[in-house]
Amino acid sequence: MTATILDGKALAAEIRADVKARVAARIAAGKPAPGLATVLVGDNPASQSYVRSKRKASAEVGIESFGYELPATASQAEVEKLVSELNADPKVNGILVQLPLPGHLDEERVLNLISIEKDVDGFHPVNIGRLAQKGREPSFVPCTPEGCMYMIQKSVPKIEGINAVVLGRSNIVGMPVALLLVRANATVTICHSRTRNLPDVVRQADVLVAAVGKPEMVRGDWVKPGAVVIDVGINRVDDPSSPKGYRMVGDVNFDEVKEVAGVISPVPGGVGPMTIAMLLRNTLHGAELSDK
């Protein structure tokens, strides 16, 4: 058996098309275009590339983007002042502070300062706290976990009652996606570096989300036949045969696991495109919140 490949680019295109249509309808109704502010501190090439791609994607769906760049030497007070100004700016419906910040800055203080009504990354403690509580709704859900859930829902008609395993417990992916699965009434196991008999635990999963940051860690014999496997990892490994001298792989050994799983997301082209699509959807949601 060879798994069905989950095409993240195609799924993301569906979301982008929906956002674009809703933005156009919003503008036609006389409402302002949604606005996304990106804050980049320093000159990290990867961060610069991520910000460019987010601004380009915003423009393609009619979202206005505002780019703010501060030098790597910017003080805590300077970064916090900018975030406070963006909180007060009615044209800005979403604030994205590109991580990581330079080491001398307190990331938590900066993220906590973002208004929960503009927290399009979904990382504010209040939004995460609401996500973790029954009967509470966060203003925003983190983009990558939401993208994972969208892919799972496309693959599993009924999540309720299934066994889900999340490999990794980061604040950015592992914990939020586990909370989303719990909300969908899955039975969830969170695995980490201290988990005993890890392959045996993973093998119980009807749905596996791998978000541990270790190249090709999940092997074919770890996976339950027919399972849905969502690979969040993106790791650079040396590859002399590649023109760049390296290639990108996930946390799952794709060649092995695709022969066992029922559905698998590739790397690249899986979860990555979904993350930006969810950011666009969250920014539109932020504009809709401001209408109320």
* Spatial distance between the Cα atoms of 174 and 83, rounded to a whole number of angstroms: 27
- Residue 179, token pair as written in the block: 């909370």
Active-site residue (options: 119, 121, 231, 251): 121
CB 116 within 8 A of CB 127: yes
Could you say which DSSP state residue 118 is in?
S
Closest CA to 207 of 275, 171, 157: 157
Report the run of H or E that residue 164 belongs to, with start and end: strand 163-167
The CA distance from 4 to 18, in Å, is 25
98, 206, 231, 251: the active-site residue? 98
Q: Is 170 annotated as a binding residue?
A: yes
The catalytic residue among 9, 43, 48, 54 is 54
Is residue 5 a known part of a binding site? no
Tokens of 3: 């798994």
Burial 154-191 (b: 16+ CB within 10 A, else e): ebbeebeebebbbbbbbebbbbbbbbbbebbebebbbb
121 is a catalytic site residue = yes
Phi (first) and psi of residue 108, to 5 degrees: -60, -40
User: Any known ligand binding at 168?
Assistant: yes
Which two three-digit tokens encode residue 257? 């696991």
Q: Tell me whether residue 234 is annotated as binding.
A: yes
* Residues making up the binding site: 168-170, 234
* Residues making up the binding site for NADP(+): 168-170, 234
**Active site (catalytic) residues:** 54, 98, 121
